[in-house]
Amino acid sequence: AQSVTQPDIHITVSEGASLELRCNYSYGATPYLFWYVQSPGQGLQLLLKYFSGDTLVQGIKGFEAEFKRSQSSFNLRKPSVHWSDAAEYFCAVAPYGQNFVFGPGTRLSVLP
Amino acid sequence: EPEVTQTPSHQVTQMGQEVILRCVPISNHLYFYWYRQILGQKVEFLVSFYNNEISEKSEIFDDQFSVERPDGSNFTLKIRSTKLEDSAMYFCASSEEGGTQYFGPGTRLLVL
């Protein structure tokens, strides 16, 4: 069965610093890949997605993610973090658009 | 921009009572989903629905749960005889065929 791992449960960065959130998946073929963000008590907002093509995808709020087939990874990056980026980030995979499998999430804290 | 809406935003119920969570998917979407997120845990797939029938369900989705599309716009999740462990955030999502799933803001259910 497919699975998604996010090795970092909690990451703290200073405002203005760069950010990378890790995501690895286990699946026989390349699934659809997504990153969602969830602010406390809020719903899931789509940051970006990868279906095919260019392995570096741009998303909203200045986020980008790179798909690396050899590493089965889809890491999320942002060059300069803002205090408003503090939230929970979920990586998700959907094999050929089927039902999503979510990772456990990474909680991001931002220091002023 | 079209979005998925859910009502109510919060629901408190007594153990053993029935609750109905409502969702209005994006109007041209044909695939509908329910997910659950217990506090502090990852988002888990419950059920997918297409063409007026369940297309896939997880082991969480037992006989206590049912889904329905009572009219052309609503998609509901019914939980019969709620249990304490049903307390969670419930997310509805919708998609086009093989497309990105767009999530609603969630309904926070508290079973006392």
Confidence of residue A3 (pLDDT cuts 50, 70, 90): confident
CB contact under 8 A, B45 and A100: yes
Nearest to B100 among A45, A49, A104 (CB): A49
pLDDT at A97 over 60: no
Q: pLDDT (tens digit, 9 = 90+) per residue, B60-74?
A: 999 999 999 988 789
DSSP secondary structure letter of residue B99: -
Q: pLDDT (tens digit, 9 = 90+) per residue, B14-53?
A: 999 999 999 999 998 999 999 999 988 889 999 999 989 9
Nearest to A99 among B48, B103, B108 (CB): B48
Q: Bridge-partner residues for B13, per DSSP?
A: B111
Asked if residue A15 lies in contact with residue A78, where contact means CB atoms within 8 angstroms, the answer is no
- Distance separating alpha carbons of residues A71 and A51, to the nearest angstrom: 17
CB contact under 8 A, A94 and B48: no
Neighbours of B45 (CB within 10 A): 21
> DSSP states of B40-79 as a string?
TS-EEEEEEEETTEEEEE-TT--TTEEEE--SSS-EEEEE
CB contact under 8 A, B106 and A42: yes
